[in-house]
């Protein structure tokens, strides 16, 4: 059974692939020609949706475990949640921009290295410390909770919602349902 690290790692690799494509030189002709602005917008939407679900699940289950199980868990979690809050603000702004706006590329060029740094902070600093604290059964259980939380997580960044685990667990499904209605109306997240 996959454990928490397998599940989060799969998300990280998927997010990194999107960052690589979005960070690529758009003027350079690939075999398919330069990426069309609408394709970049769709990819940015997919990145936003996947990141929103991933970070919500981490905030509900992963960071509370880090706080609970590691002696310096609060410090580690606070730093990560600060990075996640900054990312949500950037993605919420990106969501409102057209790929033709100059700010779209400016924002992406700031967001991409920050997102990579956040992933490497989690995997390089936090995971090794937590891996030695959790039993295999606990790591699997946490993975199960994260996978379930992602299924009912918001699909839009909500930078003004405090990243409080209990609040997210209580309000998350209703917020997620409202997000999905807005997604459907906007054709967001569809290929
Ligand atoms: Fe995160
Ligand atoms: Fe993560």
Tokens of 122: 């989690």
**Number of the ligand closest to the Cα of 10:** 2
Closest to 16 measured CA to CA, from 92, 114, 85, 105: 114
Distance 66 CA to ligand 1 centre (A): 12
pTM for this prediction: 0.89
The gap from C-alpha 20 to its chain's centroid, in whole angstroms, comes to 15
54 touches 147 (CB < 8 A): no
For the chain, the straight-line distance linking the first and the last C-alpha, in angstroms and rounded, comes to 31
Distance 182 CA to ligand 2 centre (A): 25
**Number of the ligand closest to the Cα of 55:** 1
Distance 159 CA to ligand 1 centre (A): 14
Distance 97 CA to ligand 1 centre (A): 23
pLDDT tens for the chain, residues 1 to 191 = 899 999 999 999 999 999 999 998 655 556 666 778 888 999 999 999 999 999 999 999 999 999 999 999 999 999 999 999 999 999 999 999 999 999 999 999 999 999 999 999 999 999 999 999 999 999 999 999 999 999 998 888 888 787 888 878 877 777 887 788 788 878 888 76
Distance 33 CA to ligand 1 centre (A): 33
pLDDT score for 131: 97
28 touches 78 (CB < 8 A): no
Distance 84 CA to ligand 1 centre (A): 6
């Amino acid at each position: 059974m996959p454990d928490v690290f397998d599940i989060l790692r799969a998300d990280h690799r998927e997010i990194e692939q999107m960052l690589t494509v979005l960070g690529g030189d758009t003027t350079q002709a690939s075999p398919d020609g330069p990426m069309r602005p609408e394709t970049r917008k769709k990819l940015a939407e997919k990145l936003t949706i996947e990141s929103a679900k991933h970070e919500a699940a981490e905030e509900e289950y992963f960071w509370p475990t880090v706080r609970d199980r590691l002696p310096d868990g609060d410090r580690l979690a606070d730093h990560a949640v600060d990075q996640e809050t900054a990312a949500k603000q950037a993605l919420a702004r990106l969501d409102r921009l057209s790929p033709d706006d100059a700010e779209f590329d400016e924002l992406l060029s700031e967001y991409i290295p920050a997102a990579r740094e956040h992933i490497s902070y989690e995997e390089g600093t936090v995971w090794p410390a937590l891996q030695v604290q959790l039993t295999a059964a606990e790591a699997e259980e946490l993975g199960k909770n994260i996978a379930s939380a992602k299924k009912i997580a918001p699909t839009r960044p909500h930078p003004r919602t405090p990243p409080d685990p209990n609040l997210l667990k209580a309000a998350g499904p209703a917020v997620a349902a409202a997000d999905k209605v807005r997604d459907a109306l906007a054709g967001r997240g569809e290929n």
